[in-house]
């Protein structure tokens, strides 16, 4: 009985976190399709970018050393070839959440 209760409490506290995470990924996905897809392959199954010299988001996610920290540092430096689109702080975390969701576990 106690164990069931504990499990119920754990589930109830994890659910909002999970829901929030998938909303971030979704927002990042939409943004990527709108702003990044011109050059990057942004779809989960995409393995070649429209612009051949540009890594797909799948490639980025699965590069060794890519973490949420590495991505947020990266986003703070100007994107060399990107048109003057300034990514807002909250968009950065949405995009990072989406990119990292493509990482093979
Ligand atoms: C005009 C083309 C263009 C657009 C649009 C663009 N990128 Fe890029 N991106 C590049 C190129 C070219 C590179 C590879 C060269 C480099 O690393 O600077 C790159 C590299 C990256 C990298 C680093 C990859 C690595 O291997 O380290 C990330 C992360 C990234 N882009 C994210 C984004 C996101 C997020 C967006 C949309 C908000 C975006 N890019 C839009 C051209 C573009």
Mutate to test the pocket of ligand 1, among 32, 59, 61, 82 (most ligand atoms within 8 A of CB): 82
Mutate to test the pocket of ligand 1, among 32, 36, 101 (most ligand atoms within 8 A of CB): 36
Q: According to the model, what pLDDT value does residue 1 have?
A: 62
pLDDT in tens, 31-84: 999 999 999 999 999 999 998 889 999 999 999 999 989 998 888 877 777 766
Q: According to the model, what pLDDT value does residue 76 have?
A: 80
Alpha-carbon distance of 31 to 19, in angstroms, equals 19
Non-local (6+) Cβ contacts of 35 within 8 A are 85
CATH architecture of 2-101: Orthogonal Bundle (1.10)
Q: Tell which atom from ligand 1 comes closest to the C-alpha of 66.
A: 27
Q: According to the model, what pLDDT value does residue 18 have?
A: 63
Q: According to the model, what pLDDT value does residue 64 have?
A: 94
Domain boundary assignment for the chain: 2-101
Residue 8 has pLDDT above 80, yes or no: no
Expressed in angstroms and rounded, the spacing between residue 39 Cα and the centre of ligand 1 is 7
């Amino acid at each position: 009985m106690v164990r069931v209760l504990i499990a119920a409490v754990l589930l109830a506290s994890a659910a909002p976190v999970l829901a929030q995470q998938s909303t971030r990924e979704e927002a990042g996905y939409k943004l990527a399709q709108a702003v990044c897809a011109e050059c990057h392959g942004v779809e989960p199954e995409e393995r070649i970018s429209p612009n051949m010299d540009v890594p797909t988001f799948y490639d980025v996610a699965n590069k060794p050393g890519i973490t949420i920290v590495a991505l947020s540092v990266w986003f703070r430096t100007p994107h060399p070839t990107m048109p003057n689109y300034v990514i807002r702080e909250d968009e950065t975390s949405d995009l990072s959440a989406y990119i990292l969701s493509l990482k093979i576990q």
